[in-house]
Amino acid sequence: MSLLQVRDLAIHIPQSGSLRGSGVVRPVDGISFDIAAGECYALLGESGCGKSMTALGLMRLLPPGARAADGTVSFAGRELLALPEASMREYRGGQLGMIFQEPATSLNPVLSVGRQIVEALELHSALRGEQARERAEQLLDQVGIPDAKRRLDEFPFQLSGGLRQRVMIAIALAGAPRLLIADEPTTALDVTIQAQVLDLLDELRRTQDMALLLITHDLGVVARMADRIGVMYAGQLVEEAPRAAFFARPAHPYSVRLFAALPDAERRGGALATIPGSVPPADTLYAGCRFVERCGEATEQCRTAPPPWRELADGQRVRCVLADAAPAVAAGVGAGDTAICGADKPLLAVEDLKVHFPIRRGILQRAVGAVRAVDGVSLQLMPGRTLALVGESGCGKTTAGKAMLQLIRPTAGRVQLDGLEISTRSAAELRPLRAKMQMVFQDPFASLNPRLRVGEIIAEGMRALGTVGGDTSRRVAELLEKVGLRAEMANRYPHEFSGGQRQRIAIARALAVKPKVLICDEPTSALDVSVQAQILNLLADLQRELQLAYLFITHNIAVVDYLARDVAVMYLGRVVEYGSAEEVLRSPRHPYTQALLAAVPRVDGVRGDAAKLAGDMPSPANPPAGCHFHPRCPLAGAECKRDYPGETRVGATQMVRCFKV
């Protein structure tokens, strides 16, 4: 028997002045599914499909103005939508738990971690005082937080992203829920922390017979966790299937295109399949199939009547009239080997780069130590090639990238751009060199000026560095067209664009001054699979056309496998393995690299056989003696705890810093 039964749930938000004439926003428009105790049901789809709004509707936490206009939500035989708010509070946080997408904004910044867990325990259990605090400590220990007793008195800002996510899980578990809703619980987390969080959720589900509603756009996470999958598009389910059937043969054209958009080594050298257009606005009125404008196989029947559900084999069903949903995806010339330049002189050469931030204390603010964010990095970036810099959050990747561009002044080391030493130049001397090196930041919304129009944002750098070379507005229009946007969009503001479009604007701004080196800091982090494919195709085409050199900072191994020619693995401020993508990703020699690759969720659901990486990265303010990785390394010996390993060459270009290689 199902623990949760959702039938024809519709959520409406009244809207005045709608351009499409409906006058009502329908983010969820008639969705039905069941979840049994101990089962994991995954809601899969792009941003804007209504996944998170469905979860908020189940919890009755809808934003102002939104309401459940139709349908029923039955939990353990009780109709939740009919309960008064006082009764709903007993369910919410108790029998129904929820992990929100962004823990940094969901946790109270002025309350300690322990106080927030105790608050949930006091509301949903009989525990009080010291007993509640002891239980809070047990919950933190259960979710894998080291030194749980000390962490109780810390505040959210003192914790890493992975630890904050685990605190959110501990709060959700405080009420011993029978159903846990996890909304993108691993978005933008490192693969190692993601693996720990997913293992924890899976263990809780199996040991406590807890139902799990997993909301995600990551097919690898779905393959690893889900028992059944519901694919959501434009407020409705368009496909539902058990995991094995779904990954063996997705049935809806939308599902097929999501798989085709995944980057991997087999697609290196070819363009990724993309889904044209975007999810239609939630106030759109539909005559036929909701996917029709983006479907290459659509017929006239698809435009005139909504498709009914069709039952397929093995418990799979699809809302589509087509017998064969596989699209004709033509692979074109893209990145990979086509982007290689024959030059043998590095465009960007980094030697023993260090960035140390002083720790100051006392009235006189004397330096009592230093955070060794980057502690001796040496790299070479060749024209027309992509070097991927991978590692966990906090290892110094972004700091290294900014130091290479002199956005942060290095403490020591040398940086040469096209043969010129730039680390010793003044700000005035660097100014004319800025046009040669640009950066695409991780969060385009934060890096784009909200008060300027897009055209002004793109033109600002050209005017500042004197690289206009003609009509500015014409150049802006050309750049927008180059990154796949329309010229008339120059008059819009950043908030009027989607995340993928804002990332394209950030790329256009960087290209405006005709750089030779582009440092991309997590440019596809938290983007949908389809939008990610568009950005990767764009970067590949631009590299081939302009012979750009990319330093690609990321923790997405699939993206590295598709786009990069060379890979550097970074741990606690130092490069521990370096080589070609083929060498590092196919024959990793460092235990840390092996653990990173083993933690990557795969769409076939197979897990790596390397030892699971335990614990968290040590603080760069107090790195361990010897090899920095030895406290987490299953192979560590006496020499690892005493000395830092030197470079060992194991191939034509592969370098490893490990005694056990």
Q: Please report, for residues 238, 309, 336, 601, the alpha-carbon distance to residue 291 in angstroms, rounded to integers and kept in the order given.
A: 9, 15, 32, 28
pLDDT at 342: 54
Please report which helix (H) or strand (E) contains residue 183, including its range: strand 179-183
User: Do the strands 40-44 and 228-233 form a parallel or antiparallel pair, or are they unpaired?
Assistant: parallel
Tens digit of each residue's pLDDT (9 = 90 or more) over 447-497: 899 999 999 999 998 988 877 767 889 999 999 988 888 889 999 999 888
CB 317, CB 34: distance < 8 Å: no
Classify burial at 76, counting beta carbons within 10 Å of its beta carbon; exposed 0-12, middle 13-18, buried 19 or more: middle
Instruction: Name the token pair of 189.
Output: 């987390």
Query: In the structure, what pLDDT confidence band is assigned to residue 560 with cuts at 50, 70 and 90?
Result: very high
Higher pLDDT, 442 or 31: 31
Buried residues in 499-511 as b, exposed as e (16+ CB within 10 A): bbbbbbbbbbbbb
User: pTM value?
Assistant: 0.85
Name the CATH superfamily for 2-83+215-319: P-loop containing nucleotide triphosphate hydrolases (3.40.50.300)
Using the predicted structure, report yes or no on whether residue 28 has a pLDDT greater than 60.
yes
Report pLDDT digits (tens) over 608-638: 555 567 777 888 888 999 999 999 999 999 9
Asked whether residue 428 carries a pLDDT value surpassing 50, the answer given is: yes
The pLDDT value recorded for residue 19 is 46
DSSP letter at 65?
T
> In this predicted structure, what is the pLDDT of residue 610?
54
Count how many Cα atoms sit within 13 Å of the Cα of residue 469 in the half-sphere of its side chain. 8
pLDDT at 192 over 90: no
Q: Which of 321-330, 404-413, 562-571, 592-601 has the lowest mean pLDDT?
A: 321-330
Is 336-449+514-656 a CATH 2.60.40.1230 domain? no
Is pLDDT larger for residue 558 or for residue 375?
Answer: 375
pLDDT score at 74: 96
Mean pLDDT value of segment 590-617: 78
- Domain boundaries along the sequence of the chain: 2-83+215-319, 336-449+514-656
Among the listed ranges 1-10, 48-57, 94-103, 494-503, which one has the minimum average pLDDT value?
494-503
Single out the residue of 554, 629, 638, 542 nearest to residue 594, CA to CA. Answer: 629
For the residues 533-553, what does the mean pLDDT come to?
91
Asked if domains 2-83+215-319 and 336-449+514-656 share a fold, the reply is yes
Instruction: Mark out the alpha helices in 495-618 (DSSP H runs).
Output: 499-511, 529-546, 557-563, 581-586, 591-599
> Tell me, what's the pLDDT at 22?
55
What are the tens digits of pLDDT across the range 255-307?
A: 999 998 989 877 887 888 888 878 888 888 899 999 999 998 889 999 999 99
Q: Has residue 337 got a pLDDT over 80?
A: no
Instruction: Check residue 339 and give its pLDDT.
Output: 46
Residue 120, judged by CB atoms within 10 A of its CB (0-12, 13-18, 19+), counts as buried
Q: What percent of the chain has pLDDT over 90?
A: 59
Residue 238: CB atoms within 10 A of its CB come to 25
Has residue 331 got a pLDDT over 50? no
Q: Pick the closest to residue 97 from 64, 71, 120, 78 (CA basis).
A: 120
382 falls in which pLDDT band (50, 70, 90)? very high
Q: Is the pLDDT of residue 124 over 80?
A: yes
Average pLDDT of the chain to the nearest whole number: 88
Residue 330 has pLDDT above 90, yes or no: no
pLDDT tens for 384-414 read: 999 999 998 888 999 999 999 999 999 999 9
pLDDT classification of 17: cutoffs 50, 70, 90: low
CA distances 641 to 621, 637, 644, 658, Å, are 18, 7, 8, 12
* Coil/strand/helix, residue 78: strand
